[in-house]
């Protein structure tokens, strides 16, 4: 098999969350003939360890789960699983690591051992954190970990990254405001949850706008529902949005600010306000020292600004030094689109980059 065949085979068998039996069966079949030790630190994972007799190791990670999307590419290799699609490039990430594994299997010596990590649940509950908690990196004396993501809008085959902020800490924000319905002719007898919601929204936008422009952050609401009919005050407003930042201090300040706005709106309108936030993922922050070492050894392009999207590779960086990169796929449909596809020739660029890292990083 080659890298293109791997990608197309994996593209046809997308699976969700942590239940990836066909995917891991394919990966195991491709890796088992190679000179590596295969093992699963936990359900929904697969690792391949290449032992070159060294005292330490570096790791490379690929995410393996797909999305609950009905594919509409019309490709001959389209998903065979209704309602599931590799619409985020994870099939490409896995194919890159399989190609890297074949190359590693031919090498007689490297400056360190190499651990390849295939992980589930990147799109859902953050399988990276659970994998870190198994102790697999400590057991194999892993000193650094590397990963990449296919990236629309970046020139085909270009490897790019940046120091510090790369991908945001993110959480979902749900706001519920409960008032009291009354006919608008007797509005004084009710508590207007719609008006309270508007006030909450305006104050939240002012909270985010008050931060200096050089601080990367995002607080936006995409859904606002309130009321039932035109001539009655709303008894309930529901809002859904997203909070994203890079520094924990900025994130926490905005989160606490939303709670304070809720209390302020309660006092002003006499309503009840609840603000709920999901845990989300930490920010992907590339450590400058490791960044500089890799740039000196295997040069890559530098990005001017980070992405406000999220990635659970950030959990690895909480446990050990790690760098994350983007691999350009050019002008393609957006990630998570039901028509997402790409020119597979760029995958070799990712495998070449990882191979050079494996050969040169100390």
Instruction: Report helix, strand or coil for 243.
Output: strand
At 282, is the pLDDT very low, low, confident or very high (cuts 50, 70, 90)? very high
Which run of H or of E encompasses 170? Answer: strand 169-178
Continuous H helices in the chain: 3-11, 21-31, 90-105, 127-133, 136-139, 193-209, 248-269, 288-297, 313-319, 347-360
Separation CA 350–CA 290 (nearest Å): 19
| Domain range for 67 | 3-166+283-360
Separation CA 63–CA 15 (nearest Å): 12
Separation CA 335–CA 356 (nearest Å): 27
Query: Residues 235-274: pLDDT tens digits?
Result: 999 999 999 999 999 999 999 999 999 999 999 999 999 9
Q: Judge whether 338 counts as a catalytic residue.
A: no
> Among 252, 277, 302, where does a domain finish?
277
CA distance readout (Å), 246 to 170, 252, 260, 284: 9, 10, 21, 8
At 1, is the pLDDT very low, low, confident or very high (cuts 50, 70, 90)? confident
Catalytic-labelled residue, pool 6, 15, 63, 312: 63
Are residue 255 and residue 320 in the same domain, yes or no? no
Query: Residues 121-152: pLDDT tens digits?
Result: 999 999 999 999 999 999 999 999 999 999 99
Query: Residues 310-342: pLDDT tens digits?
Result: 999 999 999 999 999 999 999 999 999 999 999
Our count of domains for the chain comes to 2
Are 217 and 250 within 8 A, CB to CB? yes
Are residue 290 and residue 271 in the same domain, yes or no? no
Are residue 42 and residue 8 in the same domain, yes or no? yes
CATH of the domain at 230: 3.30.70.360
How high is the pLDDT of residue 5? 98
Residue 35 has pLDDT above 90, yes or no: yes
Buried b (16+ CB within 10 A) or exposed e, 269-302: bebbbebebeebbbbbbbeeebbebbeeebebee
Helix, strand, coil distribution of the chain in percent, nearest 5: 35, 30, 35
How high is the pLDDT of residue 335? 98
Give the closest residue to 92 by CA, choosing from 273, 345, 332, 352.
345
Query: In percent, how much of the chain has pLDDT > 70?
Result: 100
Separation CA 118–CA 160 (nearest Å): 22
68 has which bridge partners? none
How high is the pLDDT of residue 43? 95
How high is the pLDDT of residue 322? 98
Catalytic-labelled residue, pool 15, 123, 341, 344: 123
- Computed over its alpha carbons, how large is the radius of gyration of the chain? 24
What's the whole-number average pLDDT of the chain? 97
Are residue 219 and residue 75 in the same domain, yes or no? no
Q: Which residues contact 256 (CB under 8 A, 6 or more apart)?
A: none
Are residue 17 and residue 162 in the same domain, yes or no? yes
Are residue 113 and residue 252 in the same domain, yes or no? no
Are residue 115 and residue 199 in the same domain, yes or no? no
How high is the pLDDT of residue 361? 77
Buried b (16+ CB within 10 A) or exposed e, 38-59: eeebeebbbbbbbebeeeebbb
Q: Judge whether 91 counts as a catalytic residue.
A: no
> Among 231, 246, 277, where does a domain finish?
277
Separation CA 309–CA 254 (nearest Å): 17
Residue 362 has pLDDT above 80, yes or no: no
> Among 259, 277, 295, where does a domain finish?
277
Instruction: Taking residues 61-72, report their average pLDDT.
Output: 98
CATH of the domain at 150: 3.40.630.10
Which token pair is 151?
Answer: 């990236």
Give the closest residue to 177 by CA, choosing from 249, 117, 240.
240
Are residue 142 and residue 205 in the same domain, yes or no? no
Are residue 142 and residue 15 in the same domain, yes or no? yes
Are 271 and 338 within 8 A, CB to CB? no
Are residue 352 and residue 333 in the same domain, yes or no? yes
Backbone phi, psi, residue 284, to 5°: -80, 110
Are residue 41 and residue 17 in the same domain, yes or no? yes
Are residue 23 and residue 134 in the same domain, yes or no? yes
């Amino acid at each position: 098999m080659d890298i293109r065949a791997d990608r197309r085979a994996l593209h046809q068998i997308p699976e969700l969350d942590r239940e990836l039996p066909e995917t891991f069966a394919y990966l195991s079949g491709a890796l088992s003939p190679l000179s590596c030790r295969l093992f699963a630190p936990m359900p929904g994972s697969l690792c391949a360890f290449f032992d070159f007799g060294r005292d330490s190791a570096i790791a490379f990670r690929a995410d393996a789960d797909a999305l609950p999307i009905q594919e509409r590419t019309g490709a001959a290799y389209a998903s065979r699983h209704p309602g599931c699609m590799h619409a985020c490039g994870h099939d490409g990430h896995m194919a890159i690591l399989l190609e890297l594994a074949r190359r590693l299997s031919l090498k007689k010596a490297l400056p360190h051992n190499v651990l390849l990590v295939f992980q589930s649940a990147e799109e859902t509950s953050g399988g990276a954190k659970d994998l870190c908690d198994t102790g697999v990196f400590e057991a194999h004396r892993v000193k650094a970990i590397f990963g990449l993501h296919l990236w629309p809008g970046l020139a085909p085959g270009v490897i790019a990254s940046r120091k510090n902020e790369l991908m945001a800490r993110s959480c979902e924000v749900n706001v519920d405001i409960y008032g009291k319905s009354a006919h608008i002719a007797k509005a004084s007898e009710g508590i207007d949850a719609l008006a309270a919601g508007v006030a909450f929204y305006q104050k939240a936008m002012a909270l985010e706008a008050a931060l200096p422009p050089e601080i990367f952050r995002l607080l936006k609401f995409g859904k606002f529902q309130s009321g039932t009919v035109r001539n009655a005050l709303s008894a309930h407003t529901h809002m859904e949005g997203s909070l994203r930042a890079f520094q924990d201090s900025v994130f926490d300040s905005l989160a606490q600010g939303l709670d304070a706005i809720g209390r302020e709106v309660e006092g002003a309108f006499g309503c009840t306000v609840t603000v709920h936030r999901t845990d989300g993922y930490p920010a992907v922050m590339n450590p400058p020292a490791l960044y500089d070492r890799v740039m000196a050894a295997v040069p890559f392009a530098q990005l001017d600004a980070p992405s406000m999207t999220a990635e659970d590779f950030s959990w690895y960086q909480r446990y050990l030094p790690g760098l994350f990169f983007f691999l350009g796929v050019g002008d393609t449909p957006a990630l998570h689109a039901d028509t997402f596809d790409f020119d597979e020739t760029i995958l070799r660029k990712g495998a070449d980059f990882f191979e050079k890292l494996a050969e040169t990083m100390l």
